[in-house]
Amino acid sequence: MSQKVRVAILGATGAVGTELLELLASRQFPLASLKLLASERSAGKTLDFRGESLLIEAVNERSFQDVDIVLASAGGSTSKAWAKTIVESGATMIDNSSAFRMNPEVPLVVPEINPDSVDNHRGIIANPNCTTILLGVAIWPLHQVQAIERVVVSTYQSASGAGARAMEEVKEQAQAILDNRQPPTNSFPYPLAFNLFPHNTPINGQGYCEEEMKMVNETRKIFACPELRVSATCVRVPVLRAHSESVNLEFSQPFSVVKAREILQSAPGVKLVEDWDANYFPMPIDATGRDEVLVGRIRQDISHPNGLELWLCGDQIRKGAALNAVQIAELLVKKNLVGSRLATV
């Protein structure tokens, strides 16, 4: 990578924003400059980057004039509010929100799966939903060998998906419950500490919540498989920052466990974690802070001759959000595709 790039992080103070900062530093991203943007609440505060104190600015109309890539992670409404300004300023927006993911003009990218879909970007590239990224990285290599016909997935999603404030709230809830006090519930509808509940996004007429439908629709778009049958059940669990998923895959003919293990052993972005004797498999505490999706418990589905079962854990903030966005930025630099192509937003 020889080209140096001017980057802005929109939402720099958030859970994903601070991880983006860490990744840009640790991956030696070829930065020409870095701008930290957030709301008025954070303006004037600073964050450390490569030993320097960088000032946080409140985002405004002129924020993107001297920027090539905007890594946006400040929520869907903020992304929608600034997308036009970003693209018209000539920058490329890599958006972590769900605002543009299903827009047919916007590539939805997991670099291990569909890197070439960035080629036709028109200024905005969407980072998929965290659970979708983790699932995709783990099952795409199998799909390449034998097409998956149906996916049934159950998620165990950590508090980090709801942001930095929600992670703090789970700790406060745990302390309150231990102290026999009423736990605070500002970020979630119910206490999450010592509890779990189905994902708290709106439910559609078929009984699926928004998070579950993101897994269905986004997996189909990323895999370029509009007919892929996917059914998801998404659950929030009192884990701070890595998601887990129980995955059942159905193929048109049997898929040997030995072959699946062999494929996943060398698959990009995947680490096989299986010690059957010790009953040791992926856990969120082991996935936290790691780049790879940990996969294990690969076994034949005893209820279906063409079925495979597996279990995965991945850091929601890292590969599920910030790392995937930085990898997309690296891909743009490698392909010399930095800059907007004036999308209609």
Does 74 bind ligand A2P (CB under 6 A)? Our answer is yes
| Contacts within 8 Å (CB) and 24+ apart, 201-207 | 201/234
Q: Which is nearer to ligand A2P, 80 or 304 (CB)?
A: 80
* Distance of closest approach, residue 162 Cβ to ligand A2P, in angstroms: 8
Does 75 bind ligand A2P (CB under 6 A)? Our answer is yes
Q: How far is CA 287 from the centre of its chain?
A: 14
Does 163 bind ligand A2P (CB under 6 A)? Our answer is yes
Q: Which residue positions form the known binding site for NADP(+)? A: 13-16, 41-42, 160-161, 316
Does 42 bind ligand A2P (CB under 6 A)? Our answer is yes
Q: Which is nearer to ligand A2P, 149 or 172 (CB)?
A: 172
| Contacts within 8 Å (CB) and 24+ apart, 286-294 | 286/313, 287/242, 287/244, 287/313, 287/314, 287/315, 288/240, 288/241, 288/242, 288/315, 289/315, 289/318, 290/315, 290/318, 291/315, 291/318, 291/319, 291/323, 292/319, 293/134, 293/137, 293/138, 293/269, 293/319
Does 14 bind ligand A2P (CB under 6 A)? Our answer is yes
Does 39 bind ligand A2P (CB under 6 A)? Our answer is yes
Environment class of residue 277 by beta-carbon count within 10 Å: exposed (0-12), middle (13-18) or buried (19+)?
A: exposed
Using CB under 6 A, which of 5, 7, 8, 11 touches ligand A2P?
A: 11
Active site residues: 130, 243
Q: Which is nearer to ligand A2P, 75 or 115 (CB)?
A: 75
Count of residues that interact with ligand A2P, criterion CB under 6 A: 17
Does 128 bind ligand A2P (CB under 6 A)? Our answer is no
Using CB under 6 A, which of 5, 12, 135, 329 touches ligand A2P?
A: 12
Residue 199 corresponds to which amino acid?
Answer: H
For Cα atoms 28, 286, 247, give the angle at the middle one, nearest 5 degrees: 105
For ligand A2P, the binding residues (CB under 6 A) are 11-15, 17, 38-39, 41-42, 59, 74-75, 78, 163-165
